[in-house]
Amino acid sequence: MNLHTIISKRELAGAAFVLRFERNGLIFEPGQHLTVGIKDDDDRPYSIYSGINDDYIEVLIKEVKNGNISNKLKLLQQGDLVVVGSPHGSFTLDQEMLGTEKLWLIATGTGISPFHSFVRSFPALNYQIIHGIRSHNEAYEKEFFGDHYICCTTGDSSGNFKGRVTDYLKSEDLDESAYFFLCGNYNMLDDVYEVLTSKGINGAQIKSEGYF
């Protein structure tokens, strides 16, 4: 665990914020996660939000009012210190996925974070993002993804599609040669996996990561 100085914090809608801190030579693969916390206090794993060529590290955090650490991290300011662990995880892109094959990146909530790292690291990816949220104000920095972004809202009709990500996928023709990455709550992972395999997608082409 090492100390990193906070560079900035930008607040988003829906009690979310992006914490940017010094990279200090940290090496990672897009899709990996690391622990972030406060010295002599708690820490928690967060997927890396920034790209491999950025000279800083960013994490996307949603504040939990009675949580152990997110509410404390939100109070930090530029110049404060965070304790950061080493990157871990295998929710990463293989070399063949950087070519012409289509990637379907399916997330709920802050599960979109590793996909932001994917695209920031490899802007030429052939991808589509399907993001499941309650309302459109949780479409965190969607402008970054442009036309590649589809928002599925369950609480109102403010998104691109009214309903769950599973409902959207059931209505779509899926390329059986594509790769599918799923990141979010465990119920979504199970339900989407079932939809994909029922549509003929080989399980070897599906990667999933439980919520961080």
For residue 3, give every residue at least 6 positions away whose Cβ sits within 8 Å of its Cβ, in sequence order, or none. Answer: 39, 81, 82, 83, 84
Cβ proximity of 30 and 117 under 8 Å: yes
The per-residue pLDDT for range 129-155, each reduced to its tens digit, is 999 999 888 999 999 999 999 999 998
Q: Whole-prediction pTM value?
A: 0.94
Q: Which domains does the chain have, with CATH numbers?
A: 2-84 (2.40.30.10), 95-210 (3.40.50.80)
Closest residue by Cα to residue 152 from 172, 138, 168:
168
Instruction: Name residues whose C-beta falls within 8 Å of residue 135's C-beta, 6 or more positions apart in sequence.
Output: 14, 153, 155, 156, 158, 159
**Tens digits of residue pLDDT in 80-134:** 999 999 999 999 998 878 877 799 999 999 999 999 999 999 999 999 999 999 9
pLDDT digits (tens, 9 = 90+) for 32-78: 999 999 998 989 999 999 999 999 999 999 998 887 899 999 999 99
